[in-house]
């Protein structure tokens, strides 16, 4: 790259940074609004922002009672957008999700009745309790951003984001998500317990009958779409791009980064992992008010992008090694530019 080209790139990045500092302010206000309802869980809320900005879906895993559902509902209220909560159960049918054809006797014809999937933010609560047919129906909506009812295909609204929750306990009566569907989620976020200070705040705020906290809308769906346009413009240096590719390649061939853990990995990240890691890193940069991606942006979000895409072997399970441990080892060993 010539000196003149570098100067031009720097000028463009500086201009973009100034615009992003302004456009990212509503997200800071939205974080504060959601914080009026949710104590702690800042990482979860930021990851939901990343999903919105990167046009990707989230899988949220955590034990019951950690405000996963409340966080998604509060986010929808703060954006002033459509929101549907779908409780997934073993007897759920695809038509309950997508809609169906209803016969009108007076008109003697079938009329399409759209289902709850036709909204902006979809909360798929306990997604792993739904049978394979329902999960397959959701797959088209997530990947193609469209729904087919009868012989007609309908595009879904923009923004369209699925935030699915699953419970890591009570596995009886659940249907594990297939790897192909797991790969459709941009991020898998694991929600942990609050610390002692946060637990006391929850006690003070919520330990009364009928405790409710409202969220004031601070954004619109149009703001999300405009912000995505800026995310697309964020600069990613060649060194950072190579770092992203090195991380994903290391999940397929860990020897490339000096790790002898190939026997623990059955399948590594797909090219979709590379794309999502780049988009997620750009979204992180946007939320931090920058027009360029740093290696730290990539490293901060990499575990959430890769943990559900690395499939471990039976040998790894026998050694009680999880995919998270494998990804963390890769992050520790791949050289950071």
315-324: per-residue pLDDT in tens?
A: 888 888 888 8
Give the closest residue to 301 by CA, choosing from 9, 48, 7: 48
* pLDDT computed for residue 277 by the predictor: 94
Dihedral in degrees, nearest 10, Cα atoms 204, 205, 207, 213: 170
Grade residue 116 by pLDDT with cuts at 50, 70 and 90. confident
Residue 242 has pLDDT above 90, yes or no: yes
Mean pLDDT of 167-185: 72
Domains and CATH numbers, the chain: 43-204 (3.40.50.300)
Angstrom distance (rounded) from CA 97 to CA 89: 12
Q: Where are the extended beta strands (E) located within the chain? A: 57-61, 83-87, 99-104, 109-114, 121-125, 146-149, 152-155, 161-166, 185-190, 265-267, 311-312
Query: Hey, is 119 helix, strand or coil?
Result: coil
pLDDT digits (tens, 9 = 90+) for 250-275: 998 888 778 888 888 888 888 999 99
Dump the DSSP string for 227-288. Answer: HHHHHHH-B--HHHHHHHHHHHHHHH-GGGGT---GGGEEE---HHHHHHHHHHHHHHHHHT
* pLDDT computed for residue 170 by the predictor: 57
Edge-to-edge strand list for the sheet holding 57-61: 83-87, 121-125, 161-166, 57-61, 185-190
Residue 1 has pLDDT above 60, yes or no: no
Cβ 92 vs Cβ 199: under 8 Å: no
* Residue located via tokens 């997200």: 27
Give the closest residue to 57 by CA, choosing from 217, 175, 168, 177: 177
pLDDT digits (tens, 9 = 90+) for 198-224: 778 777 777 666 656 677 788 888 888
pLDDT over 70 for what percent of the chain?
93
pLDDT digits (tens, 9 = 90+) for 29-65: 888 888 777 777 788 888 888 998 998 889 988 777 7
* pLDDT computed for residue 285 by the predictor: 92
Pair of tokens at residue 316: 């790894």
Mean pLDDT of 96-106: 84
Grade residue 286 by pLDDT with cuts at 50, 70 and 90. very high
Angstrom distance (rounded) from CA 49 to CA 75: 9
Furthest-apart CA atoms within the chain: distance in Å: 74
Grade residue 79 by pLDDT with cuts at 50, 70 and 90. confident
Mean pLDDT of 94-115: 83
Angstrom distance (rounded) from CA 148 to CA 150: 6
pTM over 0.75: yes
* pLDDT computed for residue 213 by the predictor: 65
Give the closest residue to 71 by CA, choosing from 47, 54, 88: 47
- Greater confidence (71 vs 5) lies with 71
Cβ 276 vs Cβ 35: under 8 Å: no
* Residue located via tokens 């346009």: 229
């Amino acid at each position: 790259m010539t000196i003149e080209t570098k100067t031009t790139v720097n000028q463009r990045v500086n201009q973009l940074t100034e615009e992003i500092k302004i456009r990212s302010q509503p997200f800071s206000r939205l974080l504060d609004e959601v914080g009026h309802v949710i104590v702690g869980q800042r990482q979860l809320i930021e990851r939901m922002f990343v999903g919105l900005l990167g046009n990707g879906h989230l899988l949220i895993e955590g034990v019951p009672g950690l405000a996963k559902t409340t966080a998604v509902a509060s986010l929808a209220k703060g954006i002033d957008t459509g929101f549907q909560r779908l409780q997934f159960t073993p007897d759920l049918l695809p038509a309950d999700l997508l809609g169906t054809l209803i016969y009108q006797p007076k008109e003697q014809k079938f009329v399409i009745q759209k289902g709850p999937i036709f909204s902006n933010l979809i909360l798929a609560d306990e997604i792993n309790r739904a049978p394979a047919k329902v999960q397959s129906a959701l797959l088209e909506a997530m990947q193609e951003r469209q729904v087919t009812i009868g012989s007609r295909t309908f595009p879904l609204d923009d923004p369209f984001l699925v935030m699915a929750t699953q419970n890591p306990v009570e596995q009886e009566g659940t249907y594990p998500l297939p790897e192909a569907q797991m790969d459709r989620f941009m991020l898998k976020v694991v929600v942990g317990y609050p610390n002692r200070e946060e637990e006391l705040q929850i006690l003070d705020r919520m330990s009364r009958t009928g405790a409710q906290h409202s969220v004031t809308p601070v954004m619109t769906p149009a703001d999300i779409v405009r912000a995505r346009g800026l995310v697309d413009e964020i600069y990613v240096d060649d060194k950072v791009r190579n770092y992203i590719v090195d991380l994903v390649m290391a999940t397929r061939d860990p020897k490339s980064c000096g790790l002898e853990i190939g026997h623990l990995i059955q399948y590594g990240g797909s090219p979709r992992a590379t794309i999502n890691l780049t988009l997620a890193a750009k979204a992180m940069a946007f939320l931090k008010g920058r027009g360029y991606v740093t290696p730290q942006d990539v490293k901060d979000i990499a575990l959430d992008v890769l943990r559900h895409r690395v499939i471990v072997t039976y040998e790894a399970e026998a050694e009680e090694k999880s995919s998270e441990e494998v990804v963390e080892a890769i992050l520790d060993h791949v050289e950071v530019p």
